[in-house]
Chains A and B, each alone.
Chain A
Amino acid sequence: MAAYVEFKNVRKTYKTGEVEIHALNDAGFEINRGEFCVIVGASGAGKTTILNILGGMDTLTEGSVCLDGVEISTMNSRQLTAYRRYDVGFVFQFYNLVQNLTALENVEMATQLSKDPLDAANVLEQVGLKERMKNFPAQLSGGEQQRVAIARALAKNPKLLLCDEPTGALDYQTGKAVLKLLHDTCKKTGMTVVVITHNHAISAMADRIITVKNGKVEKTVINENVKSVEEIDW
């Protein structure tokens, strides 16, 4: 059986004037359905490029990418918009919430786009923000804002949840709580979650660890000894 996510021989080249930069050079990996996957690597290794290609935010130069048997790499920009709308949820390092909308309205903005959304208020309750729905982002802490952002991504009921350094702007304890939320969501709902990080310690909680270096996938490891967030320290 083919894997849920297939990333095959992907090359991504940026041209700035005369200079060609290979952000990705023959990168490949697979992810199974329902896995909690961590992509780890140093800054500039190509992690974010992988995530952007996987999420339909960027196109690739060579290679192929499939999600659930559907090829993404050949889609045009209209098809990619539809793909992003129905199949993927994004979580960013700096939350990127609309400041002039309440937590609930932010989540509703996403549910209005989806064909088969979850109830916005329910999802916010699931992430532990039942009491804060009517608050604006500026009235919430960083951790709470990231929870709203996760709720916004989950409420669309996507096939794939992509998180770019979701704990990058949070303190240690809050970061752990957010990771726990992501992990619990993955295990309870069977959602496939991909987390990007430069923090190797986080990879201990993943089912699959993909190490990226200089635009190449250095190794893919199936983690036999998955630890809970509480057990890891950094």
Chain B
Amino acid sequence: MEKAMIELLKNGVDETLYMTLVSTLIAYVIGVPLGVILFVTDIKGICKNRIINFFTGAIINLIRSVPFLILLVALLPLTRIIVGTTIGADATIVPLVVAAAPFVARMVESSLKEVDSGVIEAAKAMGSSKLQIITKVIIPEAKPSLLIGATIAISTILGYSAMAGFVGGGGLGAIAINYGYYRYKTDVMLITVAFLVLIVQLFQEAGLKFVNRIDKRLR
């Protein structure tokens, strides 16, 4: 394979990692508070609030029900306002975050729901404030599950980032589409897919290893 192609693939891997990790990070900054809000305002939650719970849930469901490819195109004006351009890796981050944050919120919510209600009751009985119950009991107790959720979120966002190649996004997805699909270069297609598989495997395995180390719950 010629040198230019190798250089291209190397760039593609870098861009994919950059898009995936930055998007995941921002999605978590937005998604964790949303997930916590969903959890605590639930009927059985510690700050029961029907209205907030309903509206947060409705907005999340609304965004989640739009297919990613449609969202990608629909968000182009917003992307232009925020990043200044609609092509390249930076431009892909905007729709990735918008699509991933509600997904992360639901993942976080379901992780928090796994926490034994007895432990929350005990924290309440001890006289912990609501903030202390969230930060000192619920989140630490859900940490292993939250991390498993994060590995799943990374794989999903990686998949989304590849899709963005269709509308001018960067990374391995763009290479697979532009060279492998439009120019019938099957070898490039296979190599990019192999790289994507490898990256998903790496994150998944490393994530699970780490979780097994920190999980002290009954097994």
Complex Cα gap A88–B127 (Å): 9
User: What chain B residues lie within 8 Å of A113 (beta carbons)?
Assistant: 126-128, 132
A154 located at the interface, meaning its Cβ lies under 8 Å from any Cβ of chain B in the complex? no
Picked from B123, B136, B144, B219, the residue with its CB within 8 Å of the CB of A138 is: B219
Q: Give 19 A-B pairs besides A90-B122, A109-B136 with Cβ atoms closer than 8 angstroms.
A: A57-B121, A57-B125, A81-B129, A84-B126, A85-B126, A85-B127, A85-B128, A92-B122, A96-B116, A97-B122, A98-B140, A99-B141, A100-B140, A110-B126, A113-B126, A137-B218, A138-B218, A149-B122, A156-B126
Does A81 contact B218, Cβ atoms closer than 8 Å?
no
Does B122 contact A96, Cβ atoms closer than 8 Å?
yes
Closest to B214 in A: A100
B216 located at the interface, meaning its Cβ lies under 8 Å from any Cβ of chain A in the complex? yes
User: What chain B residues lie within 8 Å of A55 (beta carbons)?
Assistant: 125
Q: How many A-B residue pairs have CB under 8 A?
A: 71
User: What chain B residues lie within 8 Å of A137 (beta carbons)?
Assistant: 216, 218
Complex Cα gap A113–B126 (Å): 8
User: What chain B residues lie within 8 Å of A88 (beta carbons)?
Assistant: 125
Picked from A92, A100, A110, A152, the residue with its CB within 8 Å of the CB of B121 is: A92
Complex Cα gap A82–B216 (Å): 31
7 A-B residue contacts at CB 8 Å? A84-B126, A92-B122, A92-B125, A98-B119, A99-B217, A100-B140, A100-B144
A29 located at the interface, meaning its Cβ lies under 8 Å from any Cβ of chain B in the complex? no
Tell me whether A97 and B119 are in contact in the complex, defined as CB-CB below 8 angstroms, given that A136-B216, A138-B217, A138-B218 are known contacts.
Answer: yes
User: What chain B residues lie within 8 Å of A100 (beta carbons)?
Assistant: 140-141, 143-144, 214-217
Q: Chain A 139-178 against B: per-residue CB contact (8 Å), 1 yes, 0 no?
A: 0000000000100100010000000000000000000000
User: What chain B residues lie within 8 Å of A57 (beta carbons)?
Assistant: 121, 124-125
Q: Chain A 21-61 against B: per-residue CB contact (8 Å), 1 yes, 0 no?
A: 00000000000000000000000000000000001010000
Q: Chain A 82-109 against B: per-residue CB contact (8 Å), 1 yes, 0 no?
A: 1111101010101011111100000001
Number of interface residues of A (CB under 8 A): 27
Closest to A85 in B: B127
Q: Which residues of B contact A (CB under 8 A)?
A: 116, 118-119, 121-129, 132, 136-137, 140-141, 143-144, 214-219
Picked from A86, A101, A138, A149, the residue with its CB within 8 Å of the CB of B127 is: A86
User: What chain B residues lie within 8 Å of A82 (beta carbons)?
Assistant: 127
Closest to B216 in A: A136
User: What chain B residues lie within 8 Å of A97 (beta carbons)?
Assistant: 119, 122
Does A98 contact B127, Cβ atoms closer than 8 Å?
no
Does A90 contact B140, Cβ atoms closer than 8 Å?
no
Does A94 contact B126, Cβ atoms closer than 8 Å?
no
Complex Cα gap A84–B122 (Å): 11
Minimal beta-carbon separation of A65 from chain B (angstroms): 16
Complex Cα gap A201–B118 (Å): 27
Tell me whether A99 and B216 are in contact in the complex, defined as CB-CB below 8 angstroms, given that A84-B127, A90-B126 are known contacts.
Answer: yes
Minimal beta-carbon separation of B125 from chain A (angstroms): 4
Picked from A83, A84, A96, the residue with its CB within 8 Å of the CB of B119 is: A96
Complex Cα gap A82–B140 (Å): 23
